[in-house]
Amino acid sequence: MARESLLDLAVLAADRVLKTLAGQSRPERESPGAAVTPAALGPAEQSHAAGLMRVNHAGEVCAQALYEGQALVAREDGVRTALLAAAREEEDHLAWCGQRLAELDSRPSVLNPLWYGMSFALGAVTGLMGDRISLGFVAATEDQVCRHLKRHLHDLPADDERSRAIVAQMYADEARHGTQALEAGGEEFPQPVKDVMTLISRVMTATSYRV
């Protein structure tokens, strides 16, 4: 199969941007929460669960953008294919979080277009540094994501097993993506870089929880 041109990739990326921000992502896998009977949550619990799931939804918007930016400038076809495959799995997460937000009578973050633009640019910049750096950035990012998902598993209301089932599957998928990125040749990032990423992540999560 002939290698896709930059224009082809840009058109496909633009289509995915619109679907991501318009909430039109369609999951290939059924939501892990679908088999869990929803519990009745009090107003405060429902609001808190919605805030956490809004953070997770915003994180998945960022993940889509990062992978798209990295894939657009990837040098090796194999790396591009792996990035887009991971992005497709993240699309499941995006849809699951969107569905759960609707069930909680809430909505995604209004700042999602901003998060998408910033993440796409960051993905493209790291991608231009080379595939090893790009894959290393994936691994470092997934490490950050797993940390906050683990906190959410603890912080979700005790009776909200439906949200917890979604977050647990997301955690498993994200951990696998990080491992695969390193196994594919990703460069391990130094701790100071990871610390900066943690600070940026905290700003995004604190803001998305509320708006």
Pair 178, 170: CB distance under 8 Å? no
pLDDT at 2: 41
pTM of the model: 0.88
Number of domains present in the structure of the chain: 1
Whether 178 is covered by a domain: the verdict is yes
pLDDT digits (tens, 9 = 90+) for 79-133: 988 888 888 888 999 999 999 999 999 999 999 999 998 999 999 999 999 999 9
d(CA 58, CA 160): 20
CB neighbourhood size of 78 (10 A): 11
Whether 2 is covered by a domain: the verdict is no
* CB-based burial label for 150 (10 Å; 0-12, 13-18, 19+): middle
Whether 3 is covered by a domain: the verdict is no
Whether 16 is covered by a domain: the verdict is no
- What residues make up the domain containing 114? 44-210
